[in-house]
Amino acid sequence: MAQKPLLIYDGDCQFCRLSLDFGIRTLAKFPEYVAYQRIDPTEFGLLASDVESQIWLVSKNTKPLGAHLAAAVILGMQSGIGWRAMGWLMKTPPMSWIAKKMYFFIAANRHRLPGGSRQCNLKDTYRGA
């Protein structure tokens, strides 16, 4: 389990990689990050289906946070009041409900967005024996 916050993302999705790059370049404080394809998600209390569907922020002694909540915590780590306010809004109802819907809408359509690719939309058909 990570000591410092660790962001788990989809390393095969170009849109996800561009979004990660934007965060790294734009935000002064950014957690360590790793593509889910390089880890065993069970080490972090997650399933393969969890990491395939959304980003996750994990750290020792805390519950993993996914999707908009992970992004909200990263924004809350920033020194700028605007970023922190945006993070607070993203995890406070009723804005959190909107943020969650927006996150999963974007995730479901990432293959259509700039930088997205056909691979972002491909789903495995084999689910194991």
Is residue 22 a contact partner of residue 70, using CB atoms and an 8 Å limit? no
Inside any domain, residue 128: no
Residue-wise pLDDT tens digits, 18-38: 999 999 999 999 999 999 999
Residue whose structure tokens are 């819907």: 101
Inside any domain, residue 43: yes
| Total domain count, the chain | 1
Polymer length in residues for the chain: 129
Residue 120 has a pLDDT of: 56
pLDDT band of residue 110 (cuts 50, 70, 90) is confident
Inside any domain, residue 1: no
Inside any domain, residue 77: yes
Residue 118 has a pLDDT of: 54
Inside any domain, residue 129: no
More confident residue, 121 or 65: 65
Residue 102 reports pLDDT greater than 50: yes
Identify the domain containing residue 67 by its residue range.
6-120
Which value, to the nearest 10 degrees, does the dihedral of the CA atoms of residues 61, 17, 42, 118 take? 150
Residue 87 reports pLDDT greater than 50: yes
Inside any domain, residue 56: yes
Alpha-carbon distance of 87 to 74, in angstroms, equals 7
DSSP bridge partners of 56: 8, 66
